[in-house]
Amino acid sequence: MDFELSEELRAIRDTARDFAAERMLPQAARWDAECIFPVEILREAATLGFGGITVRDDVGGSGLSRLGAAVIFEELAAACTSTAAYISIHNMAAWMIDRYGSEAQRRRFLPDLTAMRSFASYCLTEPGAGSDAAALQTRAERQGDHYRVNGTKAFISGGGVSDVYVVMVRTGGSGPGGISTLVVEKGTAGLSFGKQEKKLGWNSQPTAQVILEDARVPVANRLGAEGDGFKIAMAGLDGGRINIGACSIGAARACLDATREHMGQRSQFGRKLAEFQALQFKFADMATELEAARLMIQRAAAKLDAGAEDATLHCAMAKRLATDAGFAICNDALQLHGGYGYLKDFPIERYLRDARVHQILEGTNEIMRVIIARRMLAP
């Protein structure tokens, strides 16, 4: 088993790290404070291949592995976790079109998505169907060559700004077997958006309800067959969980690096913080948890790349561990900074706020535990 990145992946990592440090980090605090969606920076990221990381190259994608994606998202999130997480969601939606769309759909939507001339959102959660995603109520009734769609999606990253919405709808009976996936384009009659949500973190990406009222969506915009939607949604989430876990690792790594510097500079009782054994032990635990989380994310990515039968299990395990550990490391970093960590003059509080939601989205960590237990305890 090789724990080292290949030469190609190291080069990709270095490219992402340089871009994040030079183009994202200097502006991240302003994006957060002013709730700026950094469209031009996102399009710059796309020129490096980050708009369609796992999308095939015949439509402008980079065709990279899930491991490659995890490496990229860690680096981007170490600069601006919120923006990196939006890029992750955009990539998840683009991959779903690439993997499950027809050739006509791929060539229609993906060139603009991979270049980030267009932006994409993933629409599964509803006001009354969060963790119980299979209970979604958004209804699509087929009428000739169109569906008439009614329902509301909640907490949608990119809501109101994105150009393409990959929406899970109910075309059949109750349960997962009655769900289908439609690509709904901005400008569709009957498509509207709720107010922009005011959030604890993730301020560099817009979040709003996506509202469908007698929206007419062409049957030609359906991904896969009727009834395939839940399977498509869950496949998207396997990769999304790896990516968001990698974003947590990036945030935690940035906080750990800041803490190392702070402990070497700050003195109390006539000694550097780095000389106190209690703080050394805390720092050692943070570094160890970070390394363990990274290894689990990379193993889950390798499982997904290999098409392993237990890939979903490992994606759930990795997401649970990485997002819990990532937030805990950010929180411990704030504590080790003392009062300075609580100030917006320092970046720790921004990483803390941005990382917190990772324990909720792409399936809450409670649902990750349900997935893990069911798969391991099944007879």
Q: For residues 247-260, b (16+ Cβ closer than 10 Å) or e, as one string?
A: bbbbbbbbbbebbb
In the three-class reduction of DSSP (H, G, I as helix; E, B as strand; rest coil), residue 194 is classed as coil
Residues contacting 41, CB < 8 A, separation 6+: 23, 24, 27, 83
pLDDT > 90 fraction of the chain, expressed in percent and rounded: 98
Residues 45 and 178 in one domain: no
Domain stops at, among 114, 147, 179? 114
Query: According to the model, what pLDDT value does residue 261 have?
Result: 98
Residues 373 and 278 in one domain: yes
Phi, psi of 227 (to 5 degrees): 95, -10
Query: According to the model, what pLDDT value does residue 2 have?
Result: 80
pLDDT tens for 95-118 read 999 999 999 999 999 999 999 999
Residues 30 and 85 in one domain: yes
> What rounded mean pLDDT belongs to the chain?
97
Query: According to the model, what pLDDT value does residue 215 have?
Result: 98
In the three-class reduction of DSSP (H, G, I as helix; E, B as strand; rest coil), residue 2 is classed as coil
- For tokens 């997962």, what's the residue? 176
Residues 178 and 237 in one domain: no
The domain that contains 184 carries what CATH number?
2.40.110.10
Which positions are annotated as active-site residues? 362
Residues 149, 122, 245: CA angle, nearest 5 degrees: 155
Domain stops at, among 99, 114, 129? 114
Q: What is the Cα 95 distance to its own chain's centre?
A: 13
Residues 138 and 243 in one domain: no
Query: According to the model, what pLDDT value does residue 1 have?
Result: 67
pLDDT tens for 158-187 read 999 999 999 999 999 999 999 999 999 999
In the three-class reduction of DSSP (H, G, I as helix; E, B as strand; rest coil), residue 179 is classed as strand
- For tokens 């709720």, what's the residue? 194
Local confidence band at 367 (pLDDT 50, 70, 90 cut-offs)? very high
Question: The tokens of 298 are what?
Answer: 């990379």
Local confidence band at 121 (pLDDT 50, 70, 90 cut-offs)? very high
Structural domain harbouring 368: 230-377
Residues 101 and 22 in one domain: yes
DSSP-derived letter for residue 129 is B
The β-bridge partners of 156 are 208
pTM above 0.95, yes or no: yes
Question: The tokens of 68 are what?
Answer: 């490659």
Residue 1 lies in a domain: no
pLDDT tens for 279-297 read 999 999 999 999 999 999 9
Residues 106 and 142 in one domain: no
Residue 2 lies in a domain: no
Stated as kind and residue range, the H or E segment containing 351 is: helix 348-356
Residues 373 and 236 in one domain: yes
Q: List the one residue out of 153, 152, 150 whose CA is nearest residue 216.
A: 150
Q: List the one residue out of 79, 80, 155, 77 whose CA is nearest residue 122.
A: 155
pLDDT tens for 309-329 read 999 999 999 999 999 999 999
Residues 33 and 143 in one domain: no
Largest CA distance in the chain: 79
Residue 37 lies in a domain: yes
Taking phi over 0 as left and psi of -120 to 50 as alpha, with beta for the rest, 199 belongs to beta
Given a cut of 80, whether residue 36 has pLDDT beyond it is yes
- For tokens 């003392």, what's the residue? 338
